[in-house]
Chain A
């Protein structure tokens, strides 16, 4: 199966292979649910690479398998077959305890509902990513202050999540994801629970993590506007990669329009299929 499936209806920019070895390499991943009688392919052979410093969005309608794919990449779930390499380590064959260590050393997470611990202050929430790695307390404080300044959440450090706005919460969550300097940040619908103003701030924050801190980000979203902040969008449909768009030299508006075309097409196809 080819790594990227193209369709004639959308403008395709070609295969993805950056010169340096990719941070994330997904190879022919399948995830099957159900028993012998009713096999259900949530992922039916997905493959792609994400290069160092790239900001990739995965889009697709509900039930397309994007959450399953993200769970597999984030080592919370295991694929039925295929391989996933992060920084050249195959996470599909790792033991459970190794996976825990791998998650805290290599991955950063941003969830839809920020998922901060409500009993901890912003500072402590961010620190958690470092303390569980066993970082030295002296370094922790300095590092958090730097990140907080970059992400403009210094005021939230002493607050509890209950005292923060939705946008502040998400930015603190972003700080927690980046603070331990992970190889890959996984964002699951990071704007899903935000109003449009806070969503824009959040997306600009992600963009900044990517541009100024050189973070590699893989974001799952169903929102075309959110996807337009990425370098590249992968479309997932019925467990397969369906299309891919790169921003390249396009402006944000043009890029957004391209994405919308594919979304519309996918929606129409779903309508015809139904």
Chain B
């Protein structure tokens, strides 16, 4: 009997439940699909073949973020449920008046929760499994490997995690519902309708003042963020920016409708047209009563957009030019010092190593060197005692794109390489060699941050002082990577005639040495080289970098960042859009009496439909607009401080973020509009 009643309730309030149900469905689907990423067959294949643990790391990161996502979804579900329940208090009151026991009413609610929960879990899991199949194709594409034949994949772990997470959420919802019914007095239940229609009116002058204050706070937040540059996340400026942004945004939504009403009602020519007063008041009253949730929505939207856009931007930074950054099969890196950082300053500790002899040492001591390595080339890098990078930047009056790095390298000596060794390295990488006159030097660079300085040196023909006299720059900047690395890492190394290097070599050892090697084709050097070099105990060894590792790491990074950005972006967008949709729908349902009255007064359905559309647009776009402003500020600051230094153009990732927002947010907007339109039309007939 109660079961029947619950089933009938759900059918009758299908409209209320539709958006709630769809949201749960999407939540379950996303949760399963992204948690199953680590268990994909492609991932297993890569993990089995590769040496890196990036796959495990991706799965691990997904799990960590899933906890956050589960919390967000939990709050969403409970919030939406509370909204639906509070609107039905009258109905429960009638049950109680008719003689039902509170326990029975709770049971009806429990059955409904179970119906919705089971339905969304089963359908959501099915959809999730389907989506995860598509995701494995995406993984293959992101790793840049061909799909090794389709295989159905099912992740028991993700399935259990999804079931556990949502079961827990539904249990909390059920408890909430039981408490709601138990704690309600009958008189309150029956009077629920009258209580809800209470409207909040704020003093327009207070709103005006607060609105100005909120704009000022947000402006200060933007300014502080610009000062901070968003590179260091936890200094005073960043904290101030965060607090001002949060408080400013809250005040903004607290005062927005009061301010808008104060302004609009004075513009009578604009305001007194058709249903504008009604539409404005309708949205304003909803804004006034739910400004806190709109504030949360705006902040989450800001996170979603910023995470998504900058996340995808960072992929380019980390993996964009991985081919050019790794011209050799492997690079052995040796230094005559170790560097440690104390209080942000680099401290060099000398190491007793005859770095210039590294190549010979490797050939002698690495087991089976000749079986593994077909060709090698050594690059000795010397410190030029006559000039520092700070002096270079002063001379050409140009700094690095990133001001802080400028400071840290200002005191380091300019690094130089001999022409012969440089040409050998170019030849090993299969590139054309260069020639220099005796009084010339060549600027080499491929880091975006130091690009302006490199060009300034050439265009201003800056003379380079050496122990053998001044040299003039060659007429171009050589874009070249000196050894394998995860990104372009050559910043302003100068190629000088061999005599200059010879004179330096008589005074000092090379501060750094790259030994670049190419493997013997067909050998299993990829698996052996690293360990063999380690076993040889090379003096001053700092790193052994293999191209294959770098490539895998880059692909792994690309997969991880992409999935995380999409995962978080999707969940936050769905959550925020769903909250707005449910709020707006309940507003429409609560206002059906108003629409009926407007109909009686002679509004035709096209006028009402238009008002509904305007309400949906304003209600959805107001928080989005402010969130976009915040995001634009954050992304602009990041572009200036980070992206330009990394040589990343954030436009494409911004465009993708925009597409995602339009698809999800726009979709919810459309559903909300169509549902409220049909609700009103049904009520009018």
| Residues of chain A at the chain B interface (Cβ within 8 Å) | 74, 76, 97, 100-105, 107, 109, 115, 117-120, 124, 127-134, 137-138, 140-141, 160, 162, 176
B275 touches A132 (CB 8 A): yes
Contact present for B281 and A74 (CB under 8 Å): no
Q: Contact: A132 with B607, CB < 8 Å? A: yes
Smallest distance from the beta carbon of A202 to chain B beta carbons, Å? 19
Which of B201, B269, B602 contacts A160, CB < 8 Å?
B201
Q: Is B4 an interface residue (CB 8 A)?
A: no
Question: B433-441, B539-547, B569-577, B592-600: which one contacts chain A?
Answer: B592-600
Answer whether residue B562 sits at the interface, using C-beta atoms and an 8 A cutoff.
no
Q: What's the least CB distance linking B561 to chain A, in Å?
A: 47
Q: Which B residues fall within an 8 A CB radius of A?
A: 197, 199, 201, 268-278, 281-282, 284-285, 594, 597-605, 607
Query: Given A128-B277, A131-B275, A160-B201, A103 and B268 touching (CB < 8 A)?
Result: no
A-B contact pairs, 23 of them (CB 8 A): A101-B604, A102-B602, A109-B601, A117-B281, A117-B597, A118-B199, A119-B594, A124-B278, A128-B275, A128-B277, A128-B598, A131-B272, A131-B277, A132-B603, A134-B274, A137-B269, A137-B272, A138-B268, A141-B268, A141-B272, A160-B199, A160-B201, A162-B199
Q: Is the CB of B272 within 8 A of A100?
A: no
Contact B281 A120 (CB under 8 A): yes
| Contact present for B602 and A100 (CB under 8 Å) | yes
Collect the chain A residues with CB atoms within 8 Å of residue B600's CB. 74, 76, 103, 109
| Option from A97, A132, A160 in Cβ contact (under 8 Å) with B274 | A132
B275 contacts across to A, CB distance below 8 A = 128, 131-132
Q: Chain B residues near A130 (CB, 8 Å)?
A: 272
Known contacts A119-B281, A120-B281: A127-B601 contact under CB 8 Å: no
When distances are taken between beta carbons in the complex, the residues of chain B under 8 Å from A124 are: 277-278, 281
- Of the residues B199, B270, B599, contact of A100 by C-beta under 8 Å: B599
Q: Is chain A's interface secondary structure helix, strand, loop, or mixed overall? A: helix
Do the beta carbons of A104 and B603 come within 8 Å of each other? yes
Task: Report A104 CB to chain B, min CB distance, Å.
Answer: 3
Chain B residues with CB below 8 A from A176, complex form: 601
B602 x A107 contact (CB < 8 A): yes
Closest 3 CB pairs of A and B: A104-B602, A103-B602, A100-B604
Contact partners of B282 in chain A: CB under 8 A:
119
Q: Please give, as numbers and ranges, the residues of chain A lying within 8 Å of B281 by CB-CB distance.
A: 117, 119-120, 124
Q: Say whether B602 contacts A119, CB under 8 Å.
A: no
Closest to A117 in B: B594
Q: What separation, in Å, do the CA atoms of A126 and B271 have in the docked complex?
A: 14
Contact among A120, A129, A160 for B601, CB-based, below 8 A:
A129
Contact across chains for A120 and B602 when beta carbons are under 8 A apart = no
For the complex, what is the distance from the CA of A51 to the CA of B664, rounded to whole Å?
Answer: 59
Contact B269 A119 (CB under 8 A): no
List 6 additional A-B contacts (Cβ < 8 Å) besides A76-B600, A109-B601, A137-B269.
Answer: A102-B602, A103-B602, A109-B600, A118-B199, A119-B594, A120-B277
User: Shortest CB–CB separation between residue A117 and chain B, in angstroms?
Assistant: 6
User: Do A101 and B602 have beta carbons less than 8 Å apart?
Assistant: yes
Contacts of A133 in B (CB 8 A): 602
A127 to B278, CA, bound (A): 10
Q: Is the CB of B199 within 8 A of A127?
A: no
> Which residues on the B side are within 8 Å of A138 (C-beta)?
268-269
CB-defined contacts of A137 to chain B, threshold 8 Å: 268-273
Alpha-carbon separation in the docked complex, A4 to B600 (Å): 29
Chain A residue with minimal CB distance to B591? A119
- Is the CB–CB distance between A115 and B597 below 8 Å? yes
How far in angstroms is the closest Cβ of chain B from A141? 6
Q: A118 vs B197: C-alpha distance in the bound complex, in angstroms? A: 8
Q: Give A107 to B281 CA distance when docked, in angstroms.
A: 25
Q: Are A117 and B278 in contact (CB under 8 A)?
A: yes
Bound complex: CA A20 to CA B285 (Å): 49
CA distance A107 to B603 in the complex (A): 12
> Could you tell me the distance between the alpha carbons of A118 and B200 in the complex, rounded to whole angstroms?
11
Q: Which residue of A lies closest to B597 (CB)?
A: A115
Output the nearest chain B residue to A115 by Cβ-Cβ distance.
B597
Q: Which residues of A contact B602 (CB under 8 A)?
A: 100-105, 107, 132-133
CB distance from A127 to the nearest CB of B (A): 6
Kindly list chain A residues whose C-beta atoms are within 8 Å of the C-beta of B269.
137-138
Q: In the bound complex, how far is the Cα of B273 from the Cα of A178, in angstroms?
A: 19
Q: Which residue of chain B lies nearest to A137 when distances are taken between CB atoms in the complex?
A: B272
Q: Is the CB–CB distance between A131 and B274 below 8 Å?
A: yes
Chain B, residue nearest A130 (CB): B272
Give the chain A neighbours of B268 by CB distance below 8 A. Answer: 137-138, 140-141
Across-interface contacts of A141 in B (CB, < 8 A): 268, 272
Give chain B residues whose Cβ lies under 8 Å from the Cβ of A103. Answer: 600-602
Chain B residues with CB under 8 A of A76: 600
The docked-state distance in angstroms from the alpha carbon of A64 to that of B201 is 43
Min distance, Cβ A257 to any Cβ of chain B, angstroms: 35
* Complex Cα–Cα for A78 and B574 (A): 45
Q: Which residues of B contact A127 (CB under 8 A)?
A: 272, 277
Q: Which residue in chain A gives the minimum CB-CB distance to B274?
A: A131
Whether A120 and B604, one on each chain, are in contact in the complex, defined by CB atoms closer than 8 angstroms, is no
Expressed in whole angstroms, the Cα–Cα distance for A94 and B275 within the complex equals 24
- Return B269 CB to nearest CB of chain A, in Å: 5
Assembled-state Cα–Cα distance A160/B271 (Å): 17
Tell whether, in the assembled complex, residue B199 and residue A119 are in contact, meaning their CB atoms are under 8 Å apart: yes
Q: Which residues on the B side are within 8 Å of A74 (C-beta)?
A: 600
- Distance, CA A176 to CA B594, complexed state (A): 15
Chain A residue at minimal CB-CB distance from B261: A121
Give the complex CA separation of A117 and B593 in angstroms: 9
What's the minimum C-beta distance from A220 to chain B, rounded to whole angstroms?
A: 15
Beyond A100-B604, A119-B282, A119-B285, is A131–B599 a contact (Cβ under 8 Å)?
A: no
Interchain CA distance A74-B594 in the complex, whole Å: 18
With most chain B CB atoms within 10 A of its CB, the pick from A119, A130, A141 is: A119
User: Which residues of B sit under 8 angstroms from A118, Cβ to Cβ?
Assistant: 197, 199
Q: Closest residue of chain A to B282, judged by CB?
A: A119
List B contacts of A102 (CB < 8 A): 602
- Within 8 Å CB of B276, what residues of A? 131
| Residues of the A chain whose Cβ atoms lie less than 8 Å from the Cβ of B605 | 97, 100
Give Cα A107 to B278, complex, Å.
20
